[in-house]
């Protein structure tokens, strides 16, 4: 078995998802099949291959460090689930 229900539960916690026992066992079965399929890559010898993380060979793009203000505070807070008009509000954490 590639991935156990316990590992699925652990990874779900890391990803901030709360899964029912039923979902955990369903995902574990499905992910196990998918990971087994992915093992196919092991057939290829890639020891001398540089990983390719993006198709664009680009160096960091530099620009002048100039501040720009394109949006008002009001605009940015428009989609906030909870706000006091100045800040995003979350429950007290300290």
Partner 1 sequence: MPHLTQLTLSQVRQQLADASLSASEVAEAALARIQATEPKVQALLSVQAEEARAQAKALDSSGPDPSKPLWGVPLVVKDVLATKGVPTTCGSKILENFRPVYDATAVARLKDAGAIILAKANMDEFAMGSTTENSAYFATRNPWDLERVPGGSSGGSGATVAACQCYGALGTDTGGSIRLPASFCGIVGLKPTYGRVSRFGMVAYGSSLDQIGPMTRSVEDAARLLAVIAGHDERDSTSVNAPVPDYVAALSERTDLQGLTIGLPAEYWDQGLSPEVAEACAAAVQQSEALGAKTVPVNLKLSEYAIAAYYIIAVAEASSNLARFDGVRYGLRDKSAEVLMEIYVKSRTQGFGEEVQRRIILGTYVLSSGYYDAYYRKAAQVRRLIRQDFEAALGQCDVIMGPVCPTTAFKVGEMTADPLQMYLMDIFTISTNLAGLPGMSLPVGLGRDSGMPVGLQLTGRAFDEARLLQVAGVLEKNVPATGLAKV
* Contact positions with partner 1 (CB under 8 A) in 67-86: 70-71, 75-76, 78-82
DSSP structure string for 15-75: TT----HHHHHHHHHHHHHHHHHHGGGGGS--TTPPP---S---PPPP--------S-HHH
Contact track, partner 1, 12-31, x by CB under 8 A: x-xxxxxx---x---x--xx
87 touches partner 1 (CB under 8 A): no
How far apart are alpha carbons 28 and 21 in whole angstroms? 10
For partner 1, the binding residues (CB under 8 A) are: 3, 7-8, 11-12, 14-19, 23, 27, 30-31, 33-35, 37-44, 46, 49-56, 58, 60-61, 63, 70-71, 75-76, 78-82, 88, 90-91, 93
């Amino acid at each position: 078995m590639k991935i156990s229900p316990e590992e699925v539960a652990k990874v779900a916690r890391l990803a901030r998802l709360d899964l029912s026992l039923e979902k955990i066992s369903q995902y574990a079965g499905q992910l196990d099949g998918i990971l087994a399929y992915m093992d196919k890559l092991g057939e290829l010898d890639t020891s001398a291959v540089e990983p390719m993380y993006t198709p664009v060979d680009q160096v960091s793009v530099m620009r002048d460090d100039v501040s720009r203000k394109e949006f008002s505070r009001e605009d940015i807070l428009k989609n906030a689930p909870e706000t006091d008009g100045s800040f995003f509000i979350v429950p007290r954490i300290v």
